[in-house]
Amino acid sequence: MKYRIVHSTSYQYSDPVPVCHNLLRLSPRETAYTNCTSHRMLIRPNPERVSRRKDWFGNLVQSFSLDESHRKLLLTATSRVTVSPQVVPEANETPEWEDIAASIRDQSIDGWFDVNEFVYDSSLAPSGDTFRDYASDCFAPKQPILDGAIALMSKIFREFKYDPKATTVVTRPAEALAQKHGVCQDFAHVAISCLRSLGLPARYVSGYLRTLPPPGKERLIGADASHAWFSIWCGEAGWIDLDPTNDKVCGTDHIPIAWGRDYSDVAPIRGVFTGGGQHTLKVSVDVEPIG
């Protein structure tokens, strides 16, 4: 699948903002199955320079500062991405989950070093007994790891209510689990917390999702949104992306931007500004299939 993705963010302030500093993670990530053929970042007002680098996780980060006073900041990322189907192993042929956990703990498996950090607690996806208990019926003894992860994804999909009003920026997975509701970010964090509680490496993926219009309707431009899901490491088969919001193993409808331990590693826009008074934020995302 080929996509043209336009992600626009605008901040409008009631008072002038004399200074702001920003870090952007809005550039789709190149992976074995995704290829970003073009990416353009439009920033208004135009900063003097935008620096680009890869972060610890290999995500592309663009950073810039504005020292001229402004009342509006506009960020538009336009990307063209080709997505090939991911090779997903037969779930019941993946290693037993206890073996994966043990081989990372004992550092006895190839690639343990790169995977290791995704086992540990992070600020937005900590482990804990409640998470382990919640996941325990998905991970029976000797259960193949991907089997278990898919069961967990489906369990979250079944039991959680999608409710954009229920959670805030700082909703913790423990709260989301107790309330059984949230948005894609919360579902991903809950899944990651569950997997980490079992000693399994799981990471957070931010990206876009192609949305299909209802039958007979036109596709609405700009009505899409940023999306998030999780990824589980299955040993030799590597990382497999699972989307608990849609109960789907990620395929060509999912376009990853960045991954990390949790949302805080991959926030699309991070930074600070001074002044500004009251401000409003508007976001529009358009994922357009172009063949």
Partner 1 sequence: MIREKIIPAEILLGHPGFHRAYHNLQPANRRRLTIYAADVARSPDGRWWVTGDRVRAPSGLGFILENRIITSRVLPGVFRAARPRRLAPFFMKLRETLREMAPRYRENPRTVVLSRGADSPTYFEDVYLARYLGYTLAEGGDLATRDGRVMLKTLGGLLPVEVILRRVSDDDCDPVELKSGSLTGVSGLVDVVRNNEVVVANSLGSRLAETPALVPFLPAACRKLLGQELRLPSAATWWCGQPAALSYVLENLDKLVLRSAFIVNNSPPIEAALMTQAARDELVQKLKARPSQYVAQERIVRSTVPVWLGKTIEPWHSAFRFFVAADGDSFLTLPGGLARTSPDHLSLDRSMAAGERAQDVWIESDGPIESVTLLRSSEVALALKRGGNDLPSRDAENLFWLGRMIERADGAARGLRVLLRHLSGDEDDESSVVRVVLVRALASLGQIEPGLAVDGLKNGLPDLEESLPASVFSQQETLSLKSTMDGVARLVNSVRDRLSTDAWQTLNQLQSDWNPSAQSLQKMDSTRLLQLVQRIINGMAQFGGLSSEGMTRTQVWRFLELGRRIERVWHTATMLQATLVEVNDPEGLVMESVLESCNSIMTYRGRYLSTLQAEAVIDLLTTDDTNPRSLIFQLSRIQDHVAKLPSANQAVLGPDERLAMSLYNSVRLSEPHKLAQPEDGERRSLDRLMQRMLDQIPKLSNAISQRYLIHAGLPRPFDRETI
Residues that bind partner 1 (CB under 8 A): 9, 11, 18-23, 48-49, 51, 53, 55-57, 63, 65, 67, 107, 113, 116-117, 119-121, 123, 129, 164, 169, 183-185, 225-228, 260, 265, 267-276, 279, 281, 283
From the CB of 188, what's the least distance to partner 1, in Å?
10
From the CB of 19, what's the least distance to partner 1, in Å?
6
Q: CA 144, CA 185: separation in Å to the nearest integer?
A: 26
Q: CA 220, CA 273: separation in Å to the nearest integer?
A: 33
Q: 217 burial class (0-12, 13-18, 19+ CB within 10 angstroms)?
A: exposed
Q: CA 80, CA 35: separation in Å to the nearest integer?
A: 8
From the CB of 240, what's the least distance to partner 1, in Å?
21
DSSP, collapsed to helix, strand or coil, labels residue 256 as strand
Please say which residue, 94 or 193, places its beta carbon nearer to partner 1: 193
Please say which residue, 148 or 201, places its beta carbon nearer to partner 1: 201
Q: What is the CA radius of gyration of the chain?
A: 20
Please say which residue, 22 or 27, places its beta carbon nearer to partner 1: 22
From the CB of 119, what's the least distance to partner 1, in Å?
8
From the CB of 228, what's the least distance to partner 1, in Å?
6
Residue pair 189/206 in contact by the 8 Å Cβ criterion: no
Residue pair 272/279 in contact by the 8 Å Cβ criterion: no
Please say which residue, 91 or 131, places its beta carbon nearer to partner 1: 131
